[in-house]
Amino acid sequence: MKKKISLLLCMIAAVLCFTACGKAESTPYDEEELVQVADFLIGYCAEADEMAFEQWKEMSEFGIDLQLTEAGLPFEAESFLSVLDSWQAGIAECGSYIEHGDYSFKMTNGKIEVSADAKFENRDAVISFMFNSESKLESMDVSVNMETGEILQKAGLNTVLGMGTVFSVLILIAFIISLFKFIPAIQAAFTKKPAETEAVQVPVQAAPAEAPAAEEAAADDTELIAVISAAIAAAEGASTDGFIVRSIRRRPSNKWNSK
């Protein structure tokens, strides 16, 4: 298989070299050279089997570039692999390749487009090659020629998908807006907790109410001290100025009762 690929590359390289020798200086690109490259790629892709495609894809880019450089082909591994992918996608949609017509050339912004109408087993298509200003291949595309009914069907499907997406987004926005009515309830739930905390903490401030009871007890002790001081002074026959009652304590036993 590798020998077959190398031989085919060498043959097309010889053809391209011969074509390049006769290139006209008055044109920005050589149409014959581009046609040779396009015919080579179409012919190779049409003759190659699935094993050959897989073999190319399993090779490294360095190995592919090496073979393409040795053959003198004006494209690199990346563009060549993209051609193989585009061809396989076109075959899957259009069927087996049959033939193609004459090429047309179009140059836009330094890019050269070479295209031709092609006939496949199931439907027709357009094969387009894109070259850069140095006539090196960049990509290939197989565009299916769709009938008016297919175009309308595809446009209708795109319209339905677009409108469906828009309505889906609108329904989602309406659902989000409908949830706004729950925002006040959520805010009330969060603001209610601090109020309950303050209500629980209010009774703690009732502690100063014990102060009048303490003042009343202190007043009772003062009156008792005054009465006791007067009784002692009367028993001793002295004035209350001669002593000070500092504290009053109850004795554990009453000796007066024991007598």
- Please tell me whether residues 121 and 36 are part of one structural domain: yes
- Please tell me whether residues 127 and 189 are part of one structural domain: no
Query: Which are the contacts of 113, defined by CB distance < 8 A and separation ≥ 6?
Result: 105, 106, 107, 128, 129, 130, 131
- Please tell me whether residues 126 and 95 are part of one structural domain: yes
Q: What is the DSSP string of 145-160?
A: ---HHHHHHHHHHHHH
Query: How many Å apart are CA 221 and CA 209, to the nearest integer?
Result: 20
Number of domains in the chain: 3
What is the token pair recorded at 220? 């009772």
- Please tell me whether residues 165 and 135 are part of one structural domain: no
pLDDT digit string, tens, across residues 179-212: 888 888 888 888 865 555 555 555 555 555 555 5
pLDDT digit string, tens, across residues 102-125: 999 998 888 899 999 999 998 899
Q: What is the mean pLDDT of residues 122-131?
A: 91
Dihedral through CA 223, CA 225, CA 231, CA 236, nearest 10?
-150
pLDDT digit string, tens, across residues 35-93: 988 998 999 899 888 888 888 888 888 888 888 888 777 788 898 899 999 999 999 98
Global pTM value: 0.50
pLDDT at residue number 227: 76
Q: What is the DSSP string of 70-106?
A: HHT-S--HHHHHHHHHHHHHHHHHH-SEEEEEEEEEE
| Residue 116 belongs to domain spanning | 2-145
Query: How many Å apart are CA 188 and CA 197, to the nearest integer?
Result: 15
Query: CATH no. for residue 87?
Result: 3.10.450
